[in-house]
Amino acid sequence: MDASMPWPASVLAIADAVELDAAAPIAIGRVGNTIHRVRLRDGGWGVLKRGGGALGGDEARADVLAEAERLAWLDGRAGAPRLLWTGNVGEHAASLATHLSGLPAHERQENPTHAITIAARALRAVHELPVRACPFGEHRDAGDVVIHGDYALPNVIIGDEAVGIVDWSLMRVGDRNEDIDDAERSIGRNFGERWVPRFREAYEGNG
């Protein structure tokens, strides 16, 4: 990362400047924002996202801010990381959230049944969030639910004791079938089409 970034005092209370400056990106987001894993002062790990300026421009800045707003509302529900801090660092918007330990569901190739079942149940928990309280999106239909908006297996983190979901910037009120369709396409790409019915069964509570 850039050396000697102008980190605000509010984030320095959570993570040391040396750790923040030294954090190398572990991924590039879909709109050009960078994603870093950072050691926190309490000994745990956090995930720092930055976007804007040279890092994806306005679209990446908006994506970082949108996810931060949604994580604040979720407050750890439905497997979401907890937002620790959000603000500006130089020309970039940034957020720091808790790190979810585990492997993305698409990497659980040794047991597709388990991975797909877990992913289906996790999505059902998203869709059971209180839709009337959700401030993102518009209620257009009585059957609307809270949707993730980018529900693919790489965004489902399966740990030894818990399941988490990342990349919430597109979360909103909408049609559950948008998430289900995204999940089924991801399952087809990563495990094969024959596993799609298993996802439907588990989502509907039949497995």
Q: What is the pLDDT of residues 45-70, one digit of tens each?
A: 999 999 877 667 889 999 999 999 99
Residue 165: beta bridge partners?
156
CB distance 186 to 177 below 8 Å: no
CB distance 202 to 171 below 8 Å: no
Residue 165 has pLDDT above 90, yes or no: yes
Six token digits for residue 145: 């639910």
Give CA torsion, residues 101, 104, 108, 112, to 10 deg.
Answer: 120
Crossing angle for the helix pair 196-203 and 176-190, nearest 10 degrees?
A: 140
Measured CA to CA, the distance from residue 52 to residue 85 in angstroms comes to: 17
Give the count of beta carbons closer than 10 Å to the beta carbon of residue 193. 11
- Sign for the CA dihedral angle at 119, 121, 127, 130 comes to negative
Total-model pTM: 0.93
Q: Which of 157, 147, 11, 184 lies closest to 86, judged by CA? A: 11
Residue 36 has pLDDT above 80, yes or no: yes
Q: pLDDT per residue over 12-27, tens digit each?
A: 999 999 899 888 788 8
How does residue 207 score in pLDDT terms, banded at 50, 70 and 90? Answer: low
Residue 72 has pLDDT above 70, yes or no: yes
What backbone torsions phi and psi does residue 28 show, to the nearest 5 degrees? -110, 125
Crossing angle for the helix pair 176-190 and 112-127, nearest 10 degrees?
A: 170
Structural domains of the chain sorted by starting position, each given as residue range(s) with its CATH number in brackets: 9-98 (3.30.200.20), 103-203 (3.90.1200.10)
25-28 and 34-39 beta bridge pairing = antiparallel
Q: What percent of the chain has pLDDT over 90?
A: 78
Residue type, 1: M
45-51 and 92-98 beta bridge pairing = antiparallel
